[in-house]
Amino acid sequence: MSAPARMSAGALVWRPAHPGTKRELEVLLVHRPRHDDWTVPKGTVERGETRPAAAVREVEEETGVLARLGVPLIELEYEFAKGRLKNVAYWAGRPIGGNADAYVPNREIDAVAWVPLQKAAKHVSYDTDRMVLDAFLERMEAGSHRSRTLIVVRHASARSRSHWRKDALARPLTAEGKRDAHRLRSLLAAYAVRHVHSSGALRCVQTVAPYADAANRSITVDHRLDEPRDGGPVKNRPIAEAMAEDLARKQPVAVCGHRTVIPRMLAAAGVDAESVSADPLAPAGLVVVHHRRGEVHAVEHHAPH
């Protein structure tokens, strides 16, 4: 029996080549002295880590640049040693902190460079990296490399409704749910969420609170996203209005809701509700919607671990 593929993640981080330009871009590449190659930053997913979080961590470790993930690009699987496979998921990324010029070379990465996009295919050493670049160029042609990010989160595991005798909106998370809420921090941080939006239920607020506290973000409580049996709206219009406000935001937003309401939330965001119902989110799971000008360009599903 062959060994399972090693799970890895990386990001093609890009920026305008000159202030004010939109078509002339640069991408961030690294040189590895051990292999004497130029490649896109990537690395192995650590135990208990999500792939988006791993992609951001690896970019920062290898380049000194903190990135915000955008649209997913491609997932590749190839043999990296005899009989051993590597599966790598790549995202487009934008720099939001750090400085590649200040990176200190070491035995793993001895050079970091911003390379013009049109020259990058010749600069990298492997066809797999060229496939990543081609995937980015396809996104660029569609305009989705500049897409906005909306993250819909299902609240983590909560106390049993049947055993809860107090206000329904005050039903809290279980100990397991609180642990998953803390695990969500790095996943939401990978997309650099700026706005945090939640149903009025305590279990929803508690799910996004660890990230909001760590990132110093306030939580906007919105009873339009409450479950109908807890007093929330029965009709779709209030939910659609709440989601339209999130879709209009330029910076990444996370909105936490309930299993019974999330299909309507996603439908309001332009995601096929039938596909969501067929593949329901686990507690503390999330759907990442990459959208631009009313069009959905990509949808991701993730769990906190």
Kindly indicate the confidence band of residue 93, based on its pLDDT and cuts at 50, 70 and 90.
very high
Tell me the three state secondary structure of residue 78: strand
* Residues 68 and 187 placed together within one structural domain of the fold: no
* Residues 107 and 161 placed together within one structural domain of the fold: no
Alpha helix stretches (DSSP H) within the chain: 51-63, 117-123, 127-142, 175-190, 202-215, 237-247, 262-268, 273-278
Mean pLDDT of 107-116: 97
User: Do 53 and 192 contact (CB within 8 A), yes or no?
Assistant: no
Whether the per-residue pLDDT at 5 is higher than 60: the answer is: yes
* Residues 152 and 142 placed together within one structural domain of the fold: no
* Residues 46 and 160 placed together within one structural domain of the fold: no
Looking up residue 136, the CATH number of its domain turns out to be: 3.90.79.10
Give the bridge partners for 253, in sequence order. Answer: 150, 195
Higher-pLDDT residue of 3 and 11 is 11
178 domain-assigned: yes
User: Do 29 and 117 contact (CB within 8 A), yes or no?
Assistant: no
Which structural domain range is residue 15 located in?
6-146
**How buried is 220 (Cβ within 10 angstroms: 0-12 exposed, 13-18 middle, 19+ buried)?**
middle
* Residues 225 and 250 placed together within one structural domain of the fold: yes
* Residues 138 and 233 placed together within one structural domain of the fold: no
Provide the pLDDT for residue 274.
65
1 domain-assigned: no
* Residues 200 and 274 placed together within one structural domain of the fold: yes
Higher-pLDDT residue of 23 and 140 is 140
- Two tokens at 238? 């209030």
* Residues 14 and 29 placed together within one structural domain of the fold: yes
**Beta carbons within 8 Å of 268's beta carbon, 6+ residues apart:** 236, 239, 240, 242, 243, 244
CA 157, 158, 164 angle in degrees (round to 5)? 155
d(CA 86, CA 282): 27
- For 31-74, what is each residue's pLDDT tens digit? 999 999 999 999 999 999 999 999 999 999 999 999 999 999 99
Provide the pLDDT for residue 143.
94
What's the structural domain count of the chain? 2
Report in angstroms the alpha-carbon separations of 195 from 140, 208, 211, 242, 291.
26, 11, 11, 13, 16
Backbone dihedral angles phi then psi of residue 61, each to the nearest 5 degrees = -65, -35
* Residues 110 and 169 placed together within one structural domain of the fold: no
- For 113-167, what is each residue's pLDDT tens digit? 999 999 999 999 999 999 999 999 999 999 999 999 999 999 999 999 999 999 9
Whether the per-residue pLDDT at 273 is higher than 80: the answer is: no
- For 186-244, what is each residue's pLDDT tens digit? 999 999 999 999 999 999 999 999 999 999 999 999 999 999 999 999 999 999 999 99
Provide the pLDDT for residue 18.
85
* Residues 38 and 87 placed together within one structural domain of the fold: yes
Provide the pLDDT for residue 1.
45
d(CA 91, CA 94): 10
Mean pLDDT of 275-302: 88
* Residues 106 and 125 placed together within one structural domain of the fold: yes
CA nearest neighbour of 261 among 250, 278, 276, 247: 276
Indicate the residue among 112, 146, 180 that finishes a domain: 146
**How buried is 137 (Cβ within 10 angstroms: 0-12 exposed, 13-18 middle, 19+ buried)?**
middle
Give the bridge partners for 76, in sequence order. Answer: 88
Looking up residue 294, the CATH number of its domain turns out to be: 3.40.50.1240
Indicate the residue among 131, 146, 161 that finishes a domain: 146
Higher-pLDDT residue of 151 and 22 is 151
Indicate the residue among 146, 163, 191 that finishes a domain: 146
Residue type, position 42, single letter: K
Whether the per-residue pLDDT at 2 is higher than 70: the answer is: no
Provide the pLDDT for residue 275.
61
Kindly indicate the confidence band of residue 86, based on its pLDDT and cuts at 50, 70 and 90.
very high
Higher-pLDDT residue of 21 and 8 is 8
CA nearest neighbour of 191 among 290, 265, 260: 290
* Residues 129 and 161 placed together within one structural domain of the fold: no
Whether the per-residue pLDDT at 82 is higher than 80: the answer is: no
Whether the per-residue pLDDT at 280 is higher than 90: the answer is: no
Provide the pLDDT for residue 81.
75
